Amino acid sequence: MPAASISGFKNWHNGSPLNGSAWSSRNTVACGATGYVGALRFTLEQSAESITVNVTAYRRLASGTMYADIRTSELSNPTPASLERDAVFSAPAAGAGAIISFAGSYPAGTYYVYISSDSAYADFYASNTYPMSVSYTAGGGCTHMCELFCESCEGGCESGCQAVCQGCEGAACQSCEGCESYCQGVCQSCEGAACQSCETACEGLCESSCEDACQSACQLACQGACEAASQSADHFEWSFCAVSASANTTDTVVRGLWSGFVAGQEVLCAACNGYLWQLARSEDGAWSKTACGAIDTGEDVHMFGFQDRLYLLNGSEYKVWDGTALTDVGGYRPLVAVSVPPAGGGTALEQINKMTGARRVRVSPDGTATVFHLPEQNLASVDYVQYVASGTDITSYDVSLTEGTVTITPAPAEGTNSIEIGYSVAADTAEEILAMRCAELYNGAQDTRVFVYGDGTNRCFYSGIDFDGLPRADYFPELNVAHIGDANTPVTAMIRHYDRLLAFKLDSAWSIGYAQLTLADGSVTAGFYVAPINRSVGCCAPGQAVLVENRPRTLDARSVVEWRTTASGSLSGDERNAERVSQRVDETIRSFDLETAKAFYDKYAHEYYVIGADGTALVNGIDADAWYVYTNFAARCLINYKDELYFGTADGYLRHFSTEYFSDEGEAIDAYWESGSMPFGADFRRKYSAMLWVGIRPDDNGYLEVTAKTDRKTDFAECSFSTADAAQVPEMNRIKLKAKKFTYYNLILSNNTADTTATVVSVDIRVRGTGYVR
């Protein structure tokens, strides 16, 4: 029997989640009386006519009948009373197994099995020692078609369909057997590609003819049975109204793009339409997409790479993709105490994890005591007891959840930290992490901690290092929190700069530094110190702080602010560090709603983008020190991937942005440049100009239109010329354009075609004075 893929476990007690609210890999799940519900999630790759779940009991505290409920959608905080009894079985003894069987028609997809009982109680192994397994019997083809056609029929109709469909496969597929025999006869002396071609053709023909014949027979039988049933005395006629179903068209915005390495492979991912998608480009330039898993894309999705995985935040979910499955971040089980004697106490070690209610302790038996006191009382569950050295589970123990004690019989041998006990409490503070929308990596000179922020407060939480010394993105110690400035204004953006983490608020800027802190007990831990930089300028656009040529830029006060370091190479509390760089586009940027604007730096083209919600974009070309204005630029997020620039749109497309294209999806790009009003160094004089020279790069399909306007005339003729790249050097073109008695001169260059381009390298205007301005 083929096996299904299990993707996680969960536990609830009286409707409250245990060990966190995420589907994750667990040691055991608690099921049964007093309100415990355990669940597993798995995926069928094909349709099945039966499903079998194999479980092994870690321990049994009460015998009796247990039941299981199978569903295609997840229940929210289930209780034993809310479950159906799709399968019934007896609670097995410790170390014994049980089989949970479901019969029916199950299409390919994701399923959830919930296990509980009214009287029995058992802890089942989940993903360790004797892991749960799910197998199934593939099928449901013809029978499934019958059910689809007969789902609105009753009685004789359904029976008639089943009777016909049971023999459908054999009758319809007799031609398949003949085809196969013929193929084998022809191919007996054949080898290589010709024989493979014969077999492939035969299999395709048989499969198609069998399926078509079966479906047609079932449909005709159902129709006939339904007509016969409707002619009986007791029948009902239904009037149906035509309805239509369409795809989700309200959630098409590309909410985030990310590129990097996951599981050793370079990937490009996008969050859109309720899913995370992996995008791939083949050698012939064709793009394909693969759904990685579901995620809420009602708002922007922030993505970051950590420990060879991709993590995602959206303000309500915290998920991780390992290259195979997209799951909720479960949470590391911290080792909260070591050297715990039977009476309790011991040495505190790791802080509790905000992401989960799971903890563990290591106790030191004295050789005589059997009762061990845990650091907490009123527990939700005791998940496992095992020897540290061998990892072997101890199965002979009793627990008191109220008192927080574990009784191990017989008394274990004397030892130091020789036994580890894993337990859980019902409460956690994971919602504080799930509410965050953005993240930045920082740990002094390294990127080994995750700082999350963006819940509308002045707080940021940062991740910790586990017992083995490894940085983790699923471990947020309870005390790892920093409050930035006053509580009245939220943290809007963070960005690492050299060995500092810059934090921006609506009206201020701050610097976070790393240092080692010695505690009262002599232990050393990481300390993060917050210092002010600027008390009036910050960032008004959430998450839009970017590095431009290694200088941070933010959006604030209807301006682009660049933060420049001092001679020592760091930002300090000097007001001159914040320099406004958008003066030349002040009129345009004042029309933006900067709180909803997006910022991005294309490090390959050396261009900085500020994109408004209406599709207007300001682009700062660093090399030319010039600003451009783009209109109808529908980018919602941008990414550099394989040295190219791509952007996601509001209608769910990934677009390639490149100078290789002369048009925008076949539509002409209206390129227009106008100089300022040039007085040529003499505002007090009138001038005369008869001609100018324009140098243009020798591109194929080069085309440019040239005109001008002055303070005396605005309707000059337009002159145009074309170029080719045969000369391989810039071409100078003389333009006769007479302008008389002007004081100020504006040069205008344009190109509004769908199949040409132009790059201007120089312009020379011949001007002479004619008198003084009167």
Residue 100 in tokens? 């949970």
Distance CA 628, CA 659 (A): 15
Chain centre distance of CA 53:
31
Is 213 part of a structural domain of the chain?
Answer: no
Which one of 375, 397, 424 terminates a domain?
424
Computed over its alpha carbons, how large is the radius of gyration of the chain?
35
Is 143 contained in some domain?
no
How many CB atoms are closer than 10 A to CB 278?
Answer: 18
Sheet holding 358-363, edge to edge: 347-348, 335-340, 358-363, 419-424, 381-387
Q: Are residues 446 and 415 in the same domain?
A: no
Looking at the fold, whether 601 and 745 belong to one and the same domain comes out as: no
> Cβ distance 584 to 627 under 8 Å?
yes
Which of 424, 449, 468 terminates a domain? The answer is 424
Judge if 661 and 696 occupy the same domain: no
Burial of 555 (0-12, 13-18, 19+ CB in 10 A): buried
What does the block give as tokens for 267? 């990937």
Environment class of residue 418 by beta-carbon count within 10 Å: exposed (0-12), middle (13-18) or buried (19+)? Answer: middle
10-residue block means of pLDDT along the chain (774 residues)? Answer: 88 85 83 90 89 91 92 90 92 91 90 94 84 86 46 45 45 42 46 47 47 50 47 49 49 94 96 95 91 95 97 97 94 96 95 96 97 96 95 93 95 96 93 97 90 97 95 96 96 95 96 88 85 94 97 95 77 75 94 95 97 94 94 94 95 92 90 95 96 90 93 91 74 92 96 91 95 92
Domain residues for 729?
A: 671-772
Question: 608: domain CATH number?
Answer: 2.130.10.10
Note whether 372 and 392 are same-domain residues. yes
CATH number at residue 49: 2.60.120
- Residue 166 has what pLDDT? 46
Look at the chain and report how many structural domains it folds into.
Answer: 5
Residues 295 and 339 in one domain: no
pLDDT at 519: 78
Q: What is the dihedral of CA 578, 580, 581, 584, to 10 degrees?
A: -170
What confidence score (pLDDT) does residue 270 get? 97
Same domain, 322 and 344: no
Q: Look at residue 566 and tell me if it is in a domain.
A: yes
Same domain, 752 and 735: yes
Tell which of 612, 647, 665 closes a domain.
665
Task: Check whether residue 675 and residue 659 sit in a common domain.
Answer: no
* 3-class secondary-structure state, position 434: helix
- Which residues have CB under 8 Å from 270's CB, separation 6+? 254, 256, 257, 258, 276, 277, 279, 289, 648, 654
Residue 15 lies in a domain: yes
Do 621 and 544 belong together in one domain?
yes
**CB-based contacts of 467: which residues, under 8 Å, 6+ apart?**
334, 335, 349, 350
* 231 falls within a domain: no
Q: Clarify whether residues 520 and 586 are in a common domain.
A: yes
How confident is the model at residue 105, as a pLDDT? Answer: 86
Question: Is residue 749 a part of any domain in this protein?
Answer: yes
pLDDT number for residue 569: 56
Same domain membership, residue 676 and residue 661: no
pLDDT at site 263: 94
Q: How far apart are CA 318 and CA 329, in angstroms?
A: 6
Q: Are 359 and 423 in contact (CB under 8 A)?
A: yes
What does the pLDDT read at residue 22?
A: 82
Residue 133 lies in a domain: yes
Same structural domain for residues 317 and 284? yes
Domain annotation covers residue 436? no
pTM of the model: 0.69
Those residues with Cβ within 8 angstroms of residue 193's Cβ, 6 or more apart along the chain or in another chain: none
